[in-house]
Amino acid sequence: MGEGLSAAEVGEETAEHRAHVAEHTDADQRHARHDRRVSIVEATLLAIVALLAAWSGFASAQWSTESRLLLAQASTARTEASQANLEANTTKNFDGSTFDAWFSAYVAGNDAAQAIAERRFRPEFKVAFDAWTATDPANNPNAPPGPTYMAEYRQPDLDKAAELNAAADEKYAAGAEAGGYADDYVRITVFLATVLFMVGISGHFRVPSARIGLVVVGSAVLLYSVVLLIGAPRPPV
């Protein structure tokens, strides 16, 4: 039967065991500290990304609303321009019909009918008619074909239609541009969502290098997103 350990040997074994336990304890503490630091970085990134994603989503919604409003205004202006153009054509047809009545009476030598036809002239058309008759069209081969060809002939509705069409073009271009800005913010939001995904799953990896790698890649994507946000136009208020 073997002899028991001496007191010195027991002391050596105890010391070795304590050293081994202390070594493992130190390693566990270092790992815990490292894990806490990485967790703090992850939490910070998640907080920043959450705020930026909220802002990006808000900006996208604002620009999308602005785009719809501008496109609706462009459509309204285009409709009003078409209406003004239709009214201008109606007015010109009326001027043409009254002039035809006057010309028929003039050819027939009926002064009374000419006077009646002239009373039907619109005031604006009468100005152009007087300017046309001043060119002596009966004897001047270079005279314009009729009052509507004179510089004095004005159609306010045509001018209004041109202005409305120009406004519609401007609104449509602005609406399309606003829609592009909304798409840009959506793209940034997708990048930020990618960061949330990578940082969110990094904590599930027990291999430190994999976890840190995801955090580093997420940080790079976050930095790129911040650059895009800085360069993006501010949303309308």
Contact partners, residue 169, CB within 8 Å, separation at least 6: 74
Q: pLDDT value at position 91? A: 92
Query: Across residues 69-98, what is the average pLDDT?
Result: 94
DSSP 143: S
Torsion, Cα 8 13 15 18, to 10 degrees, reads -160
CA–CA gap between residue 138 and residue 125 (Å, rounded): 19
Q: Name the residue with tokens 């001047």.
A: 140
Q: Is 134 exposed, middle or buried (0-12, 13-18, 19+ CB in 10 A)?
A: exposed
Residue 225, pLDDT above cutoff 90: yes
Reported as a single tens digit per residue, the pLDDT across 118-130 is 999 999 899 999 9
Higher pLDDT, 197 or 10: 197
Higher pLDDT, 137 or 28: 137
- Percent of the chain exceeding pLDDT 70 equals 84
Contact 188, 228 (CB under 8 A): yes
Model confidence band, residue 1 (pLDDT cutoffs 50, 70, 90): very low
Reported as a single tens digit per residue, the pLDDT across 11-29 is 565 656 555 544 556 555 6
Q: What is the value of pTM for the model shown?
A: 0.69
Reported as a single tens digit per residue, the pLDDT across 28-69 is 566 566 667 878 888 888 899 999 999 999 999 999 999 999
136: left (phi over 0), alpha (psi -120 to 50) or beta: left
